Every structure is written in C-alpha cells, then in structure tokens.
Structure 1
Amino acid sequence: MSSGKSKANLRTTLSNALSLDANFYENALNTAKNRRLARTIVILAAVSNALGSAFILLINRVTLPILLLALLGSGISVVAGYYFWTFTIWQIGQWFKPNHAPYRHLLIPIGFAYAPQVLNFLTLIPLLGRPIQLTLGIWSLLAVIVAVRQGLDIGTPWSALICLVGWPLIQVAVGFLQVFEQELLR
C-alpha cells in the first residue's frame, strides 16, 4: 500500500472516529488493516501526550534523564490505559453478553475511539492544558461508549455504564502521572 493511500486512510479513519459515527464503529471489522490503523491511532495519542508533556518539561528546564523518563511514562500510560480500559470493558461486557465479542475485537473500535487523544499535544497551551485534557478525555469516553454500544450490540445506557467503570481509573492514573512529573520538576 502506498504511503499516500495510508495517510488518506488514517485521515478518513480519524475523521470518522472523531465524528462519533455509529456506522463507522459498527463496521470496524477485525482485519489486519484496521488493527494497524487502531494501533497507529493509539500510538499517535501516546506520542501526542508525550509532546504536550515535553513542552512543559522543557520550559521548566528539566534534565535530559528526567525528560526522557517523563516522556516514556506519558507514552506508556496512554498505551497501558488503552489496554486496561479495553480489558475492563470486555470483562464487564462478558457479564452482559457472554462470549459475544472476543477481547481482540474490541481493541479495534476502542483504538479508533482514542482519536481525540491525538490532539493531546494541545495541552501545552498555557492555562488551558488541563481543561483541554479533560475535554479530550470526555470526547474519547463518548467515542468509546459508541464503539462499545455497536461492538456489543447493547443499549447506550448499558454501554455508558460499562465504559464509566474504567474511565475514572484512567483519569486518576493520568492525574497521578502529572503530579509525578511536577515532583520531578522540583
């Protein structure tokens, strides 16, 4: 596949994911192409998160080892949060609809739902970083609710309930990471 076509596919996928298009999430089939696209979106979200953190850390003139440790932590936290949240959703989904969707099938639509997190580099805007981060987190939450509703064929209230179990844990973990980065600055 050509690089231009791959970029167009990624752009189209990001656009559909950001728009919370239920049909898009319904048709997010488990194919090698979609697995790559979902993984790419999660990696871009991790890189974007790290870039936002890097800017703040560079302004505060941290040492190179601390900068690298913080960037690694920021990136890993996004990827780990993705797998943890997907696992939580899958596990709770098994109680509602046993054996309905394998864990790996939820990785694709939930990976697509991480599309708002690709904009996480915007958190470097002074005084707006945390509100932007919360807005992107809520946007991702809404996208995951749509993805789970379509992926598990359940109603929106049940999908929201399932997704809300893991989301606060991820937000708390992100908050702890930010506190840790602040402590590194001291």
Structure 2
Amino acid sequence: MPEAKHSLGKRMIGAMFLNIDVFEEVEHDRTATGQAATVVLMVAVASGIGSSGLGLYGTMVSSVGALLDWVVWAGICYVVGDQLFGGKATWGELLRTLGFAQTPGLLLLLVLIPILHDPIIVLIILWSAVAGFIAVRQGLDIGNIKTLFTIILATGVVGFIEWIQQVRILSDLP
C-alpha cells in the first residue's frame, strides 16, 4: 500500500472516524511513530485538563505514564498477537496504530462541562475500545476473532503484571 503521508491532523480525524485506511497508512509509515506519540501526549494532557485537579505536575507525570502504558500495551499486544495468533507486524506498527487509536480521548476536555461528564466518559470508553480493536486488527493483520483473543489475553497479561506489582508493594510493608 502506498503511503499517502497525510498530516497529523488529517490522520487524527481519520482515526476519530475509525477510517481503516488511516490505520493502514500509519501502520506502514515508519515516520508516523512520532505523530502517534504526539497523539498519546495530547490525550494525556486533555485528560489532565479534564480532570482539573491534577495541576501541571500531575499532568506531566500522567503524560509520562501514558507514554509508558502505550509502549507496554503495544508490546504485549505484539507478542500475544504475533506469537499466538500469527500476526504479521512489528512492534512499531502496533505503536503507531494504537497511538492513533487514542484520538477519541481528546474529547476528555468536554468533561469540564458538568452535565456532559458521565456521557462523555462512557462515549470515550466505547469509542476508544472500538478504535483500539481496529488498531490491533489492522496492526497485526489478523481477523476479528484473533483480534478479540489478542486483546483479552493481553489484558490478562497486564492485569497479572499489575497484580504482581501490588503483591510486591504489599510484601514490602512492615
């Protein structure tokens, strides 16, 4: 597939509209990794502003956390999808597609409007889940069922890692 090399803005709009061609484009454009990281950071900042209680320091810390989460999630999805379900991808391809899949999170700015808070949160969770599904499917070049199982298993791995961390923290307590 030829790389169309759309701008960051056009790619973000395409990702918001769940345009599969945009996910394919960023998957194959090795120069789009920086753009994907920019999307992740923009969403983290939107989340920080939307939370309004984080402040500048909290937003900066959550932005670093968002980048780490993105990198780890892409890595786990890559290993699960590639090794267990025959995906044909690189870690970078998943980084790019999953980064752009976070674009709906920019709507977190709207949670500052009290009446919109809960509906926007629900909308973003569902929209981001669909975008993430498309990102994993297109990034790994696998079918829907394999994508579903990749996400389920990757979520289990993340949960297990978090559980191990909690056990370690609790075992360090006096």
TM-score (norm 1): 0.70
What is aligned with 1:45?
A: 43
- In structure 2, runs of 5+ residues without a counterpart are 1-5, 163-174
What is aligned with 1:5?
A: none
Q: Go from structure 1 to structure 2 and tell me whether the alpha carbon gap of 1:131 and 1:50 turns closer, same or farther (over 3 Å shift).
A: same
Q: Structure 1 residue 141 and structure 2 residue 140: aligned? A: no
> Larger deviation: 40-49 or 81-90?
81-90
Structure 2: distance between partners of 1:133 and 1:166: 23
Question: Deviation at 1:104?
Answer: 1.7
What is aligned with 2:9?
A: 11
User: Could you report, residue by residue, the CA deviation over 1:27-70 in whole angstroms, capped at 9, with x for unpaired residues?
Assistant: 221322x122211111111111111112xx2xxxxxxxx73443
Q: In structure 2, what residue type is equivalent to 1:25?
A: F
Given that 2:12 and 2:103 are in contact with CA atoms closer than 8 Å, whether structure 1 keeps it comes out as yes
Structure 2: distance between partners of 1:148 and 1:135: 20
Question: Deviation at 1:139?
Answer: 1.0
What is aligned with 1:20?
A: 18
Q: Go from structure 1 to structure 2 and tell me whether the alpha carbon gap of 1:97 and 1:47 turns closer, same or farther (over 3 Å shift).
A: same
Q: Go from structure 1 to structure 2 and tell me whether the alpha carbon gap of 1:71 and 1:45 turns closer, same or farther (over 3 Å shift).
A: same
Structure 1: distance between partners of 2:108 and 2:153: 22
Aligned Cα root-mean-square deviation (Å) = 2.7
Number of positions where the alignment pairs a residue of Structure 1 with one of Structure 2: 153
Structure 1: distance between partners of 2:111 and 2:153: 25
* Alignment counterpart, residue 84 of structure 1, candidates 44, 63, 72: 72
Percent identity among equivalent residues?
Answer: 28
User: Could you report, residue by residue, the CA deviation over 1:120-161 in whole angstroms, capped at 9, with x for unpaired residues?
Assistant: 111222154244223212211211211221221211122133
Q: Go from structure 1 to structure 2 and tell me whether the alpha carbon gap of 1:77 and 1:137 turns closer, same or farther (over 3 Å shift).
A: farther
Indicate the SS of the match to 2:114: coil
Structure 2: distance between partners of 1:87 and 1:23: 23
Q: Structure 1 residue 112 and structure 2 residue 100: aligned? A: yes
Structure 2: distance between partners of 1:152 and 1:125: 38
What is aligned with 1:67?
A: 55
What is aligned with 1:152?
A: 140
What is aligned with 1:177?
A: none
What is aligned with 1:4?
A: none
Question: Deviation at 1:73?
Answer: 3.9
Given that 1:141 and 1:167 are in contact with CA atoms closer than 8 Å, whether structure 2 keeps it comes out as no
